[in-house]
Amino acid sequence: MARDNKRGRLLDGKLVAKALKESIKKEVAEMVDRGEEGPHLAAVIVGNDPASETYVASKEKAARGVGMVSSVYRYPEDTTEKELMDVIDFLNRDPEVTGFIVQLPLPKHINEDKIIERIKPSKDVDGFNPVNVGKMAIGQPGFVSATPAGIMEILRYYKIDTEGKNCVVLGRSNIVGSPMSILMSKKSNPGNATVTLCHSKTENLDEITRQADILITAIGSPQFVKADMVKEGAVVIDVGIHRIEDKSSKKGYKLVGDVDFDAVKEKASYITPVPGGVGPMTIASLLNNTLKAYKSEYYG
Ligand code: GUN
């Protein structure tokens, strides 16, 4: 395990994301210099969920920041499933659009699975389509969803030794927990770990998390992981992001993760902060997927 004597060295996602975005920006600039259009990332948003608006605005800004074309397709809350399918078909066919995402969650009357399945795998830069999920599961090249891809990039950047280690993943979502557990179990670097996936029905959770050399938390519960659940010297990756009340802050709230950061950092060898850990990597990985889509790295 790459460790030093200091406790709680930060895994600085902002720094890793900056490095990745700079390399993407350079490549896009070279494409544009050659007279090419360069990659175009589109986002579809249905309804007016404020969190989704914020995420999509960040993705748009980041895409433009690396010189990509970015467009956002906005539709009202009462858009029908059929209308949304038609939008997807249009984007699937549009040769100007390199890749696109449909921001989740969608309004309740729309079946998310059906929508995700409709996205052409070669344009599915979120890596949510079952074809891309399946490719990842069997170790074939394809789009890996952005948060797990970003976490792998952080582990690679900091040369965290994962081979043969106990990796415990908390949460089994399709977007993070499940793909993360698969990636960490693969014969790869990072990877090659012995993986345990825990969820809401897991018994003796604390005993399991205390075995973790690498603990990845994606459970959506603020500051759930306490210091007594963490092994001395563990590497802790916190995917959660939550607003909790903080009267001492001007905004009246602060952002925290799934981990009780201040206490856990005293035990961990490495830890991601919230904000500034996994979050920035998610967007950088989405841009990286879009660049790969443009270069047709996976789908000819
Ligand atoms: N909602 C929350 N995270 C994501 C994401 O990574 N992609 C999309 N499309 N929707 C999300």
Task: Give the domains, in start order, of the chain with CATH numbers.
Answer: 35-120 (3.40.50.10860), 145-278 (3.40.50.720)
- Determine the pLDDT at residue 8: 78
Q: If you average pLDDT over residues 267-290, what whole number do you get?
A: 98
1 has a pLDDT exceeding 60: no
Q: Which residues are catalytic?
A: 59, 103, 126
Query: Among 175, 242, 287, which is best to mutate for testing ligand 1, by the most ligand atoms less than 8 A from CB?
Result: 175
In this model, does residue 300 exceed pLDDT 90? Answer: no
Pocket of ligand 1 contains residue 116 by CB under 6 Å: no
Residue 103 near ligand 1, beta carbon < 6 Å: yes
Tell me the CA–centroid distance for residue 52 and ligand 1, in Å: 8
Mean pLDDT along residues 8-25? 97
DSSP-derived 3-state class of residue 199: coil
Transcribe 231-252 into DSSP letters.
Answer: -TT-EEEE---EEEE-TTSTTS
Name beta bridge partners: 214.
167, 235
Residue to mutate, 58, 91, 103, 117, ligand 1, most ligand atoms under 8 Å from C-beta: 103
> Closest by alpha carbon to 196, among 205, 187, 256?
205
Instruction: Give me the mean pLDDT over the 190-213 stretch.
Output: 98
Distance (angstroms) between ligand 1 centre and the Cα of 170 equals 19
Q: What is the mean pLDDT of residues 41-58?
A: 96
For the CA of 146, the nearest atom of ligand 1 = 6
User: Taking all residues of the chain, what is their mean pLDDT, rounded to a whole number?
Assistant: 96
Alpha-carbon distance of 279 to 277, in angstroms, equals 6
How far is Cα 233 from Cα 253, in angstroms, rounded to an integer? Answer: 30
In contact, 258 and 224? CB cutoff 8 Å: yes
Compute the average pLDDT of residues 248-256. Answer: 95
195 in Cβ contact with 185 (< 8 Å)? yes
Rounded to an integer, the average pLDDT of 50-75 is 97
User: Taking 80 as the threshold, does the pLDDT of residue 2 lie above it?
Assistant: no
Residue 126 CB less than 6 A away from ligand 1: yes
pLDDT at residue 6, as a whole number: 62
Average pLDDT of 191-201? 98
- Overall residue count recorded for the chain in this entry: 300
Residue whose CA lies nearest to ligand 1 atom number 8: 103
Q: Tell me how far the alpha carbon of residue 104 lies from the centroid of ligand 1, in angstroms.
A: 5
Ligand 1, atom 3, residue with closest C-alpha: 104
Q: What pLDDT, on a 0 to 100 scale, did the predictor assign at position 7?
A: 74
Please state the pTM of the whole predicted model.
0.95
| pLDDT at residue 65, rounded to an integer | 98
Asked if the model's pLDDT at residue 246 lies above 70, the reply is yes
CA 52 to ligand 1: nearest atom: 1
- pLDDT greater than 50 at residue 3: no
Q: Average pLDDT of 55-61?
A: 96
Give whole-number Cα distances, 234 to 23, 262, 294, in Å: 30, 15, 38
First CA to last CA distance, the chain:
38
What pLDDT score was predicted for residue 5? 56
Share of the chain above pLDDT 90, in %: 97
Q: Whose CA is nearest to atom 11 of ligand 1?
A: 104
